[in-house]
Amino acid sequence: MTSTPTTPPRPFDVTTVFPQLAPLARTATRLHPRPGLPSPQDSSIGGPLLWPAGEQWPHCDGPHVVDGMNLALSPADVRLKRRIRAASRGRALTPQERKTLERIHPPREYPHKLAVAPYEGSVAMLPVAQLYARDVPDLQTPEGTDLLQVLWCPFDHPIMPKTALFWRAAATVADILATPPEPPAMQFDDYLPEPCLLNPEQVTEYPDHLELSKELQEQLGNWSLWQVADTGVDNAYASYPQEFYDSELAGAPGWKVGGWPRWGATDPTPRICPTCNSDMDALLTIATFEGDDSSWLPHEEPADEPPTGFDQFDPRQPTAVQIGSGYDQQLYVCPTAPEHPHAELMH
């Protein structure tokens, strides 16, 4: 068994050096997904949902267009491919495995046809996350609900999958839909989350330096303040200590609920509810990577053996999800009215 992933303490308490940050502190719940066998009663990524048998499964009407260079596979084929890859690690493929992979990825003729294949009709959405309020302290559930279900259409709309949110009271679900429909194809294999159990952990976060007041930005950029406080931060950061602040002290990387967004792909943009002009709250970060070499990488005892049938998961990418070329998809909700449409940003 693995031990619970635990975020190491921050290198130092940033509010002792920059006290004006203190009122901006927010908690976030890091989800620390790890491959497993979630049930509908578990909080999970890519796991089965507690979905009422009598309720229509969500579908997306498109448009769905696939570039002919991409082979849009079904979820079943992507699972098969991943299982073969895991089982054959360290040995040659068996003839049967090779045959299966050739069926999934037939040899292509050259030159490739650059056909564009549209998928007509509506496409069943895929489970992305199921979060019970009891497991996730930073999940703010609308009154009368204690469960959030996030699904997505595994096609780009136009640059990432389109998400749908469902809030429920878990106790009201009697009969669970046993075999939900699946999409016939997905734009990319990376849009099929590997089933993961969660190890929620609450951490404290601060805004990206670009979201701070001019005065605070100047303080953070003043290397002598860091030195006077004896923070021990490497001299390599002397000309731009904000970089250390953003990567090690501000927002945690990886899948999380609440907290402050990490920006990288784009500069921070305002998150305003288009319906009522309220400042929207960060709900869920769907991350490509759980972390890099930063101090946010959790401590955990590695398993001696991966669970049977599972790939030896890449600790940086346990869910196998990739957004863009390695970014995050962040979902925002309106704090005043949960029925106002949510927003999605890639960063």
**Residue type at 346?**
M
Q: Where does this chain touch Zn ion (CB under 5 A) — which range of 151-159, 178-186, 239-247, 309-317?
A: 151-159
Report how far residue 22's alpha carbon sits from residue 205's, in angstroms, rounded to the nearest whole number: 10
Angle between helices 95-104 and 75-87 (to 10 degrees): 150
Q: Is the peptide bond prior to 111 cis by the omega test (within 30 degrees of 0)?
A: yes
DSSP secondary structure letter of residue 19: G
Q: Where does this chain touch Zn ion (CB under 5 A) — which range of 136-144, 152-160, 203-211, 321-329?
A: 152-160
Taking the complex as a whole, the smallest distance from the CB of residue 137 to Zn ion amounts, in Å, to 24
Distance from the Cα of residue 61 to its chain's centroid: 24
Strands 65-67 and 116-118: antiparallel
| Residue number, 202 or 278, with CB nearest to Zn ion | 278
| Residue number, 21 or 273, with CB nearest to Zn ion | 273
Q: Confirm if 28 and 306 have CB atoms less than 8 A apart.
A: no
Taking the complex as a whole, the smallest distance from the CB of residue 180 to Zn ion amounts, in Å, to 16
The answer to whether residue 125 forms part of the interface with Zn ion (CB under 5 A) is: no
Beta bridge pairs of residue 26: 205
Report how far residue 89's alpha carbon sits from residue 75's, in angstroms, rounded to the nearest whole number: 21
The answer to whether residue 334 forms part of the interface with Zn ion (CB under 5 A) is: yes
As given in the structure block, the two tokens for residue 159 are 């640059």
Can you give the length of the chain in residues?
347
| Residue number, 196 or 273, with CB nearest to Zn ion | 273
| Residue number, 279 or 301, with CB nearest to Zn ion | 279
The answer to whether residue 275 forms part of the interface with Zn ion (CB under 5 A) is: yes
| Residue number, 252 or 273, with CB nearest to Zn ion | 273
Taking the complex as a whole, the smallest distance from the CB of residue 230 to Zn ion amounts, in Å, to 45
Taking the complex as a whole, the smallest distance from the CB of residue 197 to Zn ion amounts, in Å, to 28
Pick from 268, 276, 285: which is nearest to 332 by CA? Answer: 285
Q: Where does this chain touch Zn ion (CB under 5 A) — which range of 29-37, 217-225, 239-247, 326-334?
A: 326-334
| Residue number, 18 or 188, with CB nearest to Zn ion | 188
Report how far residue 180's alpha carbon sits from residue 316's, in angstroms, rounded to the nearest whole number: 29
| Residue number, 126 or 220, with CB nearest to Zn ion | 126
Taking the complex as a whole, the smallest distance from the CB of residue 274 to Zn ion amounts, in Å, to 8
Buried b (16+ CB within 10 A) or exposed e, 117-126: eebeeebbbb
Q: Where does this chain touch Zn ion (CB under 5 A) — which range of 198-206, 230-238, 271-279, 311-319?
A: 271-279
Concatenating the DSSP letter of every residue in 214-232 gives HHHHHHHT-HHHHHHTT--
Q: Which of 50, 150, 153, 287 binds Zn ion (CB under 5 A)?
A: 153
Q: Where does this chain touch Zn ion (CB under 5 A) — which range of 34-42, 197-205, 267-275, 300-308?
A: 267-275
The answer to whether residue 155 forms part of the interface with Zn ion (CB under 5 A) is: yes
Taking the complex as a whole, the smallest distance from the CB of residue 268 to Zn ion amounts, in Å, to 20
**Binders in 16-75 for Zn ion, by CB under 5 A:** 60
H/E element, 16 = helix 14-17
Of the CA atoms within 13 Å of residue 341, those in its CB half-sphere come to: 6
Buried b (16+ CB within 10 A) or exposed e, 291-302: beeeebbbeeee
Q: Where does this chain touch Zn ion (CB under 5 A) — which range of 73-81, 188-196, 251-259, 338-346?
A: 338-346
Taking the complex as a whole, the smallest distance from the CB of residue 126 to Zn ion amounts, in Å, to 11
The answer to whether residue 279 forms part of the interface with Zn ion (CB under 5 A) is: no
Task: Please give the backbone phi and psi of residue 68, each rounded to the nearest 5 degrees, phi first.
Answer: -60, -20
Number of residues forming the site for Zn ion (CB under 5 A) = 10
Which residues bind to Zn ion, rule: CB under 5 A?
A: 60, 153, 155, 273, 275-276, 278, 334, 337, 340
